[in-house]
Structure 1
Amino acid sequence: MSGGNEEKTVRSLLVAVREGRAEDVPGLLKELGSAGRKAALPEVKALRTEVRGWDWERWHEQTKVQRALRVAGAGCHTGAAAAAAWIGGRDLFDWDRSTTDLLLDVLSDREPAWLGDVAQRLAERPAVAQDEYRLVHELVARSGCAVPTTDGYILGWTAEMTDGTLLERLRDDPQTPILVPRIFDMIETPDRLTWSGGPGSPTHWPTALKALADEGVLDRATLVDGCVARLLRGGRARDLRFPLTLLQLLGTDVEERRGRTAEWIGMAADAPSPVAAYAQEVLAGLAAEGWLSVQDLAEMTGPVLFRTEKKLVRAQLSLLAKELRRVPGAASELLPLVADAFGHADTGIQERALKLVGRHLAEVDERVREELAGAATALSPAHRRAAEELFGAAAGPDDDLPYEEILPPVPEPRRVAGPAETVAELIEDLVAVSKGRTDAPEEFERALDGLVRHAHRRREELIGAVEAAFADAFWMEKDPDGRNRDPFHHGTYGVDVVLAALMGRVRHERIHHALVHGRRVDSCAHLGMDRVVDARLWEAASLIGSERLPFLLAAPTWHTGAIEPSVLVERLRAYRDAGIEPAPVDLAQALLRVRKADPSAQDAAVAAAELGTRAGERLADWLTADASLAPAVRLLPRGDTEDRTKREGKWRLMDRLVLKIRERRAVREEFPPVLQWLGGAGAEVNHRCTHWIREEQHWPGVLPDDRETLATWLLRGLAVAVEWDQRGVTWGLTALAESDGPVGPATHLAVAIGLGCRHAEDRLTAVDALLVLAARGDLDAPRLGGTLAGLVGEGTVKPNRLADASRTAAATGAYATTWAVLAGALPDLLVAEEPVRGLGELLAVAADCVERCGATAEIPALDAVAERGGSSQLVVQARRLRKALRNLSASPDQATTQPAENRH
């Protein structure tokens, strides 16, 4: 091709790319030689840079151009590494795979080795290898290179293969023997293998692989080794489901079972329940066949008996009973291990272990007998008499001291460190907050206040330091025409908007728009809480570096977000002396944060009134006004919602929460619009919204002196989480327990919901909140118990989760507190119209608490349940609780409750 024609073709190529005509690119590239492609490449790169900076409003045009760019760049690059980097670029990612055939077309004339190099490099990019598997696989096939075995490639392969002809496709694919063994090395099992239907489904991977092993397509021993290794490595239950199912289908012979005794013991000790149960079953089979030594049985017993799953513990005790009968002389080694079950939370297991020890006690010497008697002190009081009959007085309690409740020490508020004294220190704080190295609200507040102070005092020095430290920040980039971009169209991105405003990188119209249109909240309280945080940032951005904002009034002095009243008075005095009028949102946030419960509050109110400013008068009025802005909270019965709508086949908790904001005139008339909704005149607030809540970690700092109001706005997230089994939702309960302000129905409802969360870590956070509230004297145990009874009775909170949370609380030494809560819940649960499944487990925790703390109470309907026939868990534990209450009701020792510095 002549030079003129080649230049014309390059121009045509660039026009096609700029117009987003990706389908025309392969043909134009084929008309170009290597020189023409080399000449076009800089222009293609420049266009890519330009397109990256387009506003989101041009996203449709941007997507079309990026597809054409992807094809053009792949064809213009001559190096395999550069081509692979271009194709795998995140900004050029092909979500709908529309460029796959076009890419294969423009690369069709390349050497096989070059194609193989590109394929291997793309396979190492997880997103490309998985989501664009067909592209990578086709390059592998055309080049003849080795099959990639990266995780991304395997994920793409498994997704591609999973359909109604899975077995046939696996059988015909030469990659199958190479890729299947690699699956067992992956940290996470591919979803298609985990959720591939039951054994009868044509998409069930374990069934298909078993068939291929039977046919000899796959090596059975390799599969067995892979399954065992993956199960032993552990992990989430979902990731172990596939290797466990496959291993069960493949089966194991005697030699395979005997040769892996150590592996089975490890799984029984530490693996998730399904895997541990399988390993325990294998080991029980080895024991029955005489292949499991007493030493091996002892090695597995200790860890299994410490597991929380009662089914596994019972099965282990049964196995021990069989071996103690079968193997003479094993009692001395095994009975001390049986005694480990004396401290199990389930008293039925304790009883079983005690009986097993009693049957073989005569087979041990005095040393072992003394060891067993010492272990018996861990038994529940319900079994103490049986233990004393078996071992004598040595099995009794260590002392006869009165019961003493152990509660955590009352949390002491931590002072927030003052703002950075030097610009260098401030930059460190700002980088940590801006780049997400810390998400602690107090660090955010400290950095924001420091930024405002240094911008007021050392503006030029600070600007130079920010320019150097944030040179690569997204808000430092400019459009090709030299104008500032508008990166804050969707929000503030935290402290970044203030930094960008300091550097002159935020358009004035954007700040004005945010100040005007982001002020009022129409109906959504969750969006309202977010906008309070944003409003403070936009206000700071509008005033940064000016004489009107020397420092922040709302900078907290305590880690909870609270401000000492005397400190706020001095800040207002400094503003008065400087002749500065406080910024509206900053002052309003400071008022919401000031600690009314502080001993200095009344003196501060007097001092504030004497300042002679309107801000001082507002602070004085606020410190002496009604303590809470909390809305009235009602929880409608299941089957009834305020709007009479039914969603998703059941009455959801969030739909039955009715919140009415109380009128607060001072808030409605004197607070800025972004906060006026907190003082609305009895208006309903939409708490059922579906907004993405972005600033939840800052919510406690908005209302640190009014936890009942904060609890109200946390209820929706908790309600959704407990019904949809979400994780990590109880973070706000810690703030509720440590903040100030009265405690009422919203706080107790929030804690009750938290105690019923699915995930143990969330329930643990709720337990900690409960105990801290109790230690501070803020817990209304009967109210919490009644709230829990309602949630359990309607099915929102599952009894087994509440039992686990209650058991955890009691185990810290707070038996009396836990019993007080359960005593408030049991009366309604025992007479529920629909029997409460799992109530026996709650009764067991209650009985244990009563046996240990000596509490007394009358529980209506307990006698009726205890006198039923049968030996169900419910009846057995009802009898135990009744007996404990009757036996201990006459005890002269009264339970005492007090915080303790250390838990024992």
Structure 2
Amino acid sequence: MVKGEFAVPSLGALADEVAAVLAERRDPGVESFERVLNAVVSHGYRDREALATALGSVPRAFRLKPHSQLQSLGSVVGAAVEPVQAQTSWEKVGAGWLELCQHVALDYIAGARVGEVAARLRAGDHVPFLLSAPSGPTGAVEPYDLVARLAEYERLGVRPGPADLGQALLRCGGPVDPEAVRAAEGLELEEGPRVAAWLRQGGLPRPVWWREREAGEPERPSRRRGARIGRRIYVGHEAIEGRGAFPRAFWSLFRKFEPHLSCPHWSMPDYRNAHTVATLPWHPEIAAARLLAGVASAADQDGCGSPSFLHALATTDGPAGPAVHLAVAYGLASVPEQDREAAVRALVLLAARGRLDGELLGRELAELVGLGTLKVPLLTESLRAATVAPQGAGAVWAVLATALPGLVACTRPQVHGVLLAVSADSARLSGARGELPEVTALAGRPGSSRLLKEARRLRDALAGV
């Protein structure tokens, strides 16, 4: 019932993949994580004894404080190979959950699913496969795949786990599939009507957003390591309807999100990854909005990078709004080089898939530079790299056509020449036409400095000369 890159491997192949994941000692990525998780569940259903033999020594290897995703796999593998505790009720798992921070709402969901899977394995209540196993690399579950899996649960007399089903529903979205809705309406499972209604409405409703600038004015540069002098822009959203049928650990997602609330996680590096985006693949805005503070910290402080998070935001099929564009903006001027490279790839990918709003990103870049949050030399370096990327020149010009007047107005003359050079290259390579009055006025000044030469080159490129 699970196909493609997430299909269940043989026991030998599963043991080899688990060994490879352990040897890497780092985030295994969405595909490997989800494939291993589903495979452990499926082999436990088929032959738990054989699974325990194949993976019997694995749990001990997971105790070396690895990446959080490895810890999750370790808990599931351990529950699958240890003796069954039939007296334990898996249905009580998560009953004592307490929300500590709205920023990590998607991690609560991922944790609830892993906790439920481990508890069912520990109790010996096996299922043939996970309802929430992705249908594709973004983490999305195709509506008809979910209905087909539920139909197989119905045939086998297996009860869906609330967290597994909840995660599966959150991974369904996009255009309504009438055939999948009709199939869901034909299910005899208790959950059938709920699933049909969810698919009929197109998945999780999109919240109402607002954009919020940090209070205060930019401060003078400080010598303190990690000090922040600029002001950030965040995104919040109103409450989302429909939380009642989901487990309590999911409720944080549905609450109103206020981005300036204090948070004990600070830059939250453990949550800025592709797994977080794959938890809600049709809503990259929600993931981006809740983790913008961490993404921004790599640009205006000594924060950790988040390259896989930036790339994942661009690869989803959900709408890219203000939060996604702000995440790319922060990434383009991040101090870690790998973040800048990931932001460049995200910029080009968004444009190639028709999801880039060049005017929006241009406005955000200009304002963030004016607020002292982004460093123009790093931003310019990223835009130059994007310009020479395949099909990247058009994306860069779509951004600079809006951003350039503001960037020139709020930056030092020393950086104008390089910035205008990148602008001229992107305009020429993309075949852009038009006029920017600020550039035309600059190009008309007498002199032979690089600033004036690049302004004239940009003016001529836009004029088709």
Smaller-chain TM-score bracket: 0.7 to 0.9
Is 1:551 the counterpart of 2:129? The answer is: yes
How do 1:507-522 residues align onto structure 2 when only pairs under 5 Å count? 515-517=94-96, 519-522=97-100
Q: Aligned partners of 1:796, 1:605: CA distance in 2, in Å?
A: 47
**Is contact 2:58-2:77 (8 Å) kept?**
no
Compute the displacement of 1:726 (Å): 4.7
- Of the three residues 443, 450, 458, the one matched with 1:881 is 458
2:33 is aligned to: 444
1:675 is aligned to: 250
- Of the three residues 426, 430, 450, the one matched with 2:14 is 426
Q: Which amino acid in 1 is paired with 2:198?
A: W
| Cα distance change of structure 1 residues 471 and 522 upon mapping to structure 2, 3 Å threshold | closer
Is 1:787 the counterpart of 2:364? The answer is: yes
| Cα distance change of structure 1 residues 795 and 769 upon mapping to structure 2, 3 Å threshold | same
1:737 is aligned to: 314
1:698 is aligned to: 275
Q: Aligned partners of 1:471, 1:773: CA distance in 2, in Å?
A: 40
- Of the three residues 162, 165, 171, the one matched with 1:587 is 165
Q: Aligned partners of 1:547, 1:571: CA distance in 2, in Å?
A: 17
Q: Aligned partners of 1:779, 1:632: CA distance in 2, in Å?
A: 18
Q: Aligned partners of 2:276, 2:430: CA distance in 1, in Å?
A: 38
**Is contact 1:827-1:861 (8 Å) kept?**
yes
Q: Which amino acid in 1 is paired with 2:16?
A: E
2:221 is aligned to: none
**Is contact 1:830-1:862 (8 Å) kept?**
no
**Is contact 1:634-1:658 (8 Å) kept?**
yes
Is 1:824 the counterpart of 2:402? The answer is: yes
How do 1:403-802 residues align onto structure 2 when only pairs under 5 Å count? 415-421=4-10, 423-434=11-22, 436=24, 439-467=28-56, 469-470=57-58, 472-473=60-61, 493-504=71-82, 515-517=94-96, 519-526=97-104, 528-544=105-121, 546-547=124-125, 549-597=127-175, 601-625=177-201, 629=206, 632-636=209-213, 639=216, 650-653=228-231, 656-660=233-237, 662-666=238-242, 668-681=243-256, 686=261, 688-690=263-265, 693-694=269-270, 696-726=273-303, 728-802=305-379
| Cα distance change of structure 1 residues 658 and 837 upon mapping to structure 2, 3 Å threshold | farther
**Is contact 1:554-1:590 (8 Å) kept?**
yes
**Is contact 1:535-1:674 (8 Å) kept?**
yes
Compute the displacement of 1:636 (Å): 0.8
Q: Aligned partners of 2:342, 2:19: CA distance in 1, in Å?
A: 30
Q: Which amino acid in 2 is paired with 1:432?
A: A
Root-mean-square deviation over aligned CA pairs: 3.4
**Is contact 1:433-1:495 (8 Å) kept?**
no
Q: Which amino acid in 1 is paired with 2:185?
A: A
SS of equivalent residue, structure 2 residue 364: helix
Compute the displacement of 1:786 (Å): 1.2
- Once the two structures are superposed, residues 286-328 of structure 1 have per-residue CA deviations (whole angstroms, 9 ceiling, x without a partner) of xxxxxxxxxxxxxxxxxxxxxxxxxxxxxxxxxxxxxxxxxxx
Q: Aligned partners of 2:323, 2:389: CA distance in 1, in Å?
A: 25
SS of equivalent residue, structure 2 residue 211: strand
**Is contact 2:132-2:141 (8 Å) kept?**
yes
Q: Aligned partners of 1:812, 1:757: CA distance in 2, in Å?
A: 19
* TM-score, scaled relative to structure 2: 0.85
| Identical pairs, percent | 35
| Cα distance change of structure 1 residues 502 and 745 upon mapping to structure 2, 3 Å threshold | same
Q: Aligned partners of 1:745, 1:640: CA distance in 2, in Å?
A: 22
Q: Aligned partners of 1:793, 1:781: CA distance in 2, in Å?
A: 18
1:236 is aligned to: none
Q: Which has the larger radius of gyration?
A: 1
| Cα distance change of structure 1 residues 687 and 734 upon mapping to structure 2, 3 Å threshold | farther
| Cα distance change of structure 1 residues 547 and 828 upon mapping to structure 2, 3 Å threshold | same
| Cα distance change of structure 1 residues 637 and 440 upon mapping to structure 2, 3 Å threshold | closer
1:120 is aligned to: none
Compute the displacement of 1:513 (Å): 8.6
Q: Aligned partners of 1:491, 1:588: CA distance in 2, in Å?
A: 20
Q: Which amino acid in 1 is paired with 2:12?
A: A
Q: Aligned partners of 2:451, 2:214: CA distance in 1, in Å?
A: 26
Q: Aligned partners of 1:529, 1:649: CA distance in 2, in Å?
A: 29
Q: Aligned partners of 2:338, 2:24: CA distance in 1, in Å?
A: 23
SS of equivalent residue, structure 1 residue 494: helix
Deviates more, 1:797-806 or 1:864-873: 864-873
**Is contact 2:299-2:374 (8 Å) kept?**
yes
**Is contact 2:443-2:459 (8 Å) kept?**
yes
Point out where structure 1 has 5 or more consecutive residues left out of the alignment: 1-413, 476-486, 642-646, 889-904
Q: Which amino acid in 2 is paired with 1:673?
A: R
Compute the displacement of 1:573 (Å): 0.8
Compute the displacement of 1:615 (Å): 2.5
Q: Which has the higher contact order (CA 8 A, sep 6+)?
A: 2
Compute the displacement of 1:593 (Å): 1.3
**Is contact 1:753-1:797 (8 Å) kept?**
yes
Q: Aligned partners of 1:621, 1:825: CA distance in 2, in Å?
A: 43
SS of equivalent residue, structure 2 residue 236: strand
Deviates more, 1:709-718 or 1:737-746: 709-718
Q: Aligned partners of 1:492, 1:804: CA distance in 2, in Å?
A: 35
Compute the displacement of 1:441 (Å): 1.9
How do 1:865-880 residues align onto structure 2 when only pairs under 5 Å count? 865-880=442-457
SS of equivalent residue, structure 1 residue 588: helix
- Once the two structures are superposed, residues 454-494 of structure 1 have per-residue CA deviations (whole angstroms, 9 ceiling, x without a partner) of 21221222233333x3385477xxxxxxxxxxx99x99812
Deviates more, 1:771-780 or 1:491-500: 491-500
Compute the displacement of 1:581 (Å): 2.6
| Cα distance change of structure 1 residues 729 and 473 upon mapping to structure 2, 3 Å threshold | closer
Compute the displacement of 1:452 (Å): 1.1
**Is contact 1:633-1:712 (8 Å) kept?**
no
* TM-score, scaled relative to structure 1: 0.46
Compute the displacement of 1:631 (Å): 6.4
| Cα distance change of structure 1 residues 433 and 564 upon mapping to structure 2, 3 Å threshold | same
| Cα distance change of structure 1 residues 682 and 726 upon mapping to structure 2, 3 Å threshold | closer
Compute the displacement of 1:436 (Å): 4.3
**Is contact 1:514-1:538 (8 Å) kept?**
yes
- Once the two structures are superposed, residues 513-567 of structure 1 have per-residue CA deviations (whole angstroms, 9 ceiling, x without a partner) of 96223x34243322x3333222212111111163463321011121221112111
Q: Number of aligned pairs? A: 449
1:154 is aligned to: none
Compute the displacement of 1:509 (Å): 8.9
| Cα distance change of structure 1 residues 824 and 510 upon mapping to structure 2, 3 Å threshold | farther
Compute the displacement of 1:851 (Å): 3.2
SS of equivalent residue, structure 1 residue 515: coil
| Cα distance change of structure 1 residues 875 and 748 upon mapping to structure 2, 3 Å threshold | same
